[in-house]
């Protein structure tokens, strides 16, 4: 299930699973294991974090999804 969270890759998930054997993770622990905590935050629950209003925002996708960009066709 962790692998389906946007922003958590294979390496981050491996680290999260390994760390959970020792203790409950806090949000800054997860931040240390991932590239960008801002992308992960709405989808996880940590010992000191609960995404109360963030998950139900209508513009969540606009906040998190990378902007689409038209590539240049004839770039050198």
Partner 1 sequence: MTALEALRPDGQVVVEMAEPDDFEAWRERARALVQGGVPPERVSWIEAGASGSLFAAAGGLSVPDVRAPWVRASRRFVELAESAILHSDPHRFALLYRLLWRLQDTPRLLDDPADRDVRRIGELVRSVRRDMHKMRAFVRFRAAVEPDGCERFVAWFEPEHHILRANAGFFVRRFAGMRWSILTPRGSLHWDGDVLAEGPPAQRADAPGGDPAEELWRRYYASIFNPARLKVGAMLKEMPRKYWKNMPETALIPGSWRAHRRGRARWSKPVQSSSVSGRRASRASTRRFTPAAAARSACSTTAR
Residues that bind partner 1 (CB under 8 A): 15-16, 18-19, 21-23, 25, 29-30, 32-33, 76
Q: Are 33 and 46 in contact (CB under 8 A)?
A: no
**CB contact at 8 A, 24 and 47:** yes
Q: Which is nearer to partner 1, 4 or 22 (CB)?
A: 22
If the CB atoms of residues 1 and 75 are measured against partner 1, the closer one turns out to be 75
Minimal distance, residue 24 CB to partner 1, in Å? 10
Dihedral angle computed from the Cα positions of residues 52, 58, 61 and 62, in that order, rounded to the nearest 10 degrees = -120
């Amino acid at each position: 299930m962790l692998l389906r969270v946007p922003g958590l890759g294979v390496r981050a998930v491996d680290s999260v699973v390994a760390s959970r054997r020792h203790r409950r993770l806090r949000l800054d622990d997860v931040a240390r294991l991932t590239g960008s905590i801002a992308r992960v935050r709405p989808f996880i629950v940590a010992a000191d974090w609960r995404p109360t209003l963030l998950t139900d925002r209508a513009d969540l996708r606009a906040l998190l999804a990378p902007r689409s960009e038209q590539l240049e066709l004839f770039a050198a």
